Amino acid sequence: MGGFVEAALSFPTVLFTFLLAVVVVYWLVVMVGGADTDSLGEDAFGSVGLGGVPVTVALSLLIAVAWFVSLAGAVLLENVPGAGAIALAAALVTAWVTTRLLVAVLRRAMPTGVEPSRQHFLGRTAVIRTQRVTDRFGQAEVAAADGSTALVQVRQAGQDELRYGTVAVLYDFDADGEFFWVVPADVALEPRDSKDS
């Protein structure tokens, strides 16, 4: 154990030992709910291939790998002249390459944003995809903010001409029936005072 502590507190490992202690404390605080993983400074990390995950995750991986490699390098190269500088250079390069690979894997596994819900469709225009829309039947194609499309169930309360290809506005969602209420887009965009006259 004494040899491990000595190696952890010798150059170059000592440079990363303090940082690793900070990382461990930080993640303990996160686990008890006292901090949050954020994406502050993600642009800077993205420019070196470490973007796409919270900065705290990328930085923690970088420090942990650098600490381990510098510790192993210092022990393995103990009797080599300039071992500290060699171990430091190896630790930095290996940490960057390894973290970049791990971040690429994590990036694929992490969600890219909030999953669109039905509420996100409210107020959007949709194209009717059935021959007609009644108070009991109808479908329309609506585009989400990310450009993907969905075929949703729609109904109308009035007697408007909602036929195949008509553009309509989704103005309400019925959770029990799992459908949207729609009106023709030209009716939805019509000025209020012109409706009253």
User: pLDDT tens across 78-93, in order?
Assistant: 778 888 888 889 999 9
Structure tokens at 64: 């942990």
More confident residue, 119 or 141: 141
pLDDT over threshold 80, residue 146: no
pTM, 2 dp:
0.53
- DSSP assignment of 21-83 equals HHHHHHHHHHHTTS-----TTHHHHHTTT--SS-HHHHHHHHHHHHHHHHHHHHHHTTTSTTH
Neighbouring CB atoms inside 10 A of 44's CB total 11
- Map out the domains of the chain with their CATH numbers: 2-109 (no CATH), 118-196 (2.40.50.140)
- Which of the residue ranges 100-114, 126-140, 172-186 would you say has the lowest mean pLDDT? 100-114
User: pLDDT tens across 102-133, in order?
Assistant: 888 887 776 655 555 677 888 899 999 999 99
User: pLDDT tens across 154-168, in order?
Assistant: 999 888 889 999 999
User: Are the CB atoms for 38 and 60 separated by under 8 Å?
Assistant: no
The pLDDT value given to residue 197: 44
- Which of the residue ranges 21-30, 111-120, 121-130, 174-183 would you say has the lowest mean pLDDT? 111-120
pLDDT over threshold 60, residue 66: yes
Neighbouring CB atoms inside 10 A of 57's CB total 20
pLDDT over threshold 80, residue 42: no
User: pLDDT tens across 3-18, in order?
Assistant: 777 777 888 888 899 9
| Per-residue pLDDT band at 1 (split at 50, 70, 90) | low
The pLDDT value given to residue 47: 63
